[in-house]
Every structure is written in C-alpha cells, then in structure tokens.
Structure 1
Amino acid sequence: MDTPPGALCRLDHIPDGTAVAVDAVLPDGPENLILLRDGEDARAWINVCPHAGRRLDWAPGQFLISRGTLICAVHGAGFRTGDGLCVGGPCRGQSLRAVPVRVERGVVWLAES
C-alpha cells in the first residue's frame, strides 16, 4: 500500500526501533525530520544536532541507534529516543527539536501543535 498524499510515511515502512528521514513542510518552512518508530507509535524531531547544526544521519536517511540512544554521526552526541534529550557528547543537556506527529490506521501524519 502506498503512502497517502500529505502523510509522512506508512508506519510499516519503518522497522520497529529504527528511524528514517522524511521531508515535511512545517509552519516555519520545509525541514528534514527524524521519524522514529516505537511499536505502534512514532516520534519525530528536526534532523539537526543542537551542537553543530548538522544532520544526525551517517548516510542519507540512515541513523545509528544503540540501546535507546540516537547517535549523531558528526560528533557522537547521544540523544534518548524517548524524548530527544542529549545524554552524552558536546551538547549534553540540550534537546532535539520535537515535531508532533500522530499515527492513524498505520500512517504517520504531522499533528496539530
């Protein structure tokens, strides 16, 4: 089944416990998002490390996640997958910028903020 127009992606296109990069148009303009699947739920953040302002993926759309921590490919900062808080590295205590999403019938959508 294809992704409906306006949706971010189908939940089953993301293996559980992993993340993908998706493009979205937010109120402030277009952004690349980290979209993480957690069972039947999803979380999203803007794909920008607060330390250096660079993307976190090590290759386009590919993220390193280890033991509940999303690792920035540039400087190794570690962000908790539950809330985006940096728990190790050069930006400890800062957070990824969360983007509200919702899952409806297996499809991930931007949520009203």
Structure 2
Amino acid sequence: MHFLCSSQGLAEGQSRAFSVDGIELFGVRRQGQVHLYHNRCPHRGIPLNWAEDEFLDDSASLIHCAHHGALFLIESGECVAGPCEGRQLQALGCHEDSQGIWLKAPAARADGGR
C-alpha cells in the first residue's frame, strides 16, 4: 500500500492530486468516502485538471474534465456528459484508517483511454 495523505488532507467535497511511482491520480471525498481515480480522461488520455487539485465542477457534485467539459459521477467514475459519455475513469483501490488515506495496490500504468 502507498500512503497518500492524512484524512484531514482531503476534506469533504474536495479533490486532491497525488503522484505515486510516476503515476498521476486524484482523490475526491464525498459523503465521507474517498474515491480514487487515475488522472486520465478516457476521451483523450490527458489529465483532467488545469489547476492543481481542481477536479470538480462548480457545484462540487461531479468530476469535471477541464479540457473538453466531460462530467463524471464521483461514486463510479462514469461519464454522464461530454465527448466520452458512457465510458468511465479508471478507479483505484483505496483504504482509509486512523493514519490516513492509502492507495491499496501499486498504481499500474493505464494503457486504455484512446
């Protein structure tokens, strides 16, 4: 497992970027639960964010791709609007304990996302 940050390091309704072994990923906390995804849009295979730690839309209810406007459900990573509708972000295993937030398995490079 890879330690990402303390639990306080990812507040409710917030997102945050991480890098593990050269792999870019991000986390979002919603309703107390942390969701981790590869920072790679399934539309073009590019990072979702322009600004550091900015992965959510203005309402903080959806993950937003800043490049082409795709919107993804926080809980599943499914694209619900935009050029990759019906596809989804690559989810990563996550564990949270008294020490903080952990990436469960080593981050593997994603070859998908044409």
TM band (smaller chain) = 0.7 to 0.9
Is 1:73 the counterpart of 2:69 in the alignment? no
TM superposition score normalised by structure 2:
0.82
Quote the residue 2:15 is aligned against. 19
What is the count of residue pairs matched by the alignment? 104
User: What do the CA deviations read for 1:6-37 (whole angstroms, capped 9, x no partner)?
Assistant: 41111211220111000113xxxx31111111
**Any conservation in 2 of the 1:68–1:81 contact (CA below 8 Å)?**
yes
Worse-matched range after superposition: 70-79 or 56-65: 56-65
Quote the residue 2:90 is aligned against. 97
Deviation at 1:41, TM superposition (A): 2.3
Residue 69 of structure 2 aligns to a residue whose secondary structure is coil
Quote the residue 2:5 is aligned against. 9
Is 1:58 the counterpart of 2:54 in the alignment? no
Residue 96 of structure 2 aligns to a residue whose secondary structure is strand
Quote the residue 2:79 is aligned against. 86
User: What do the CA deviations read for 1:67-88 (whole angstroms, capped 9, x no partner)?
Assistant: 5211100000000001100000
Unaligned runs of 5+ in 2: 107-114
User: What do the CA deviations read for 1:30-55 (whole angstroms, capped 9, x no partner)?
Assistant: 31111111243211000000001111
Unaligned runs of 5+ in 1: 1-5
RMSD: 1.7
User: Larger strand proportion, structure 1 or 2?
Assistant: 1
Q: Which structure ranks higher in relative contact order (CA pairs < 8 Å, sequence separation ≥ 6)?
A: 2
Deviation above 4 Å: which 4+ runs of structure 1? none
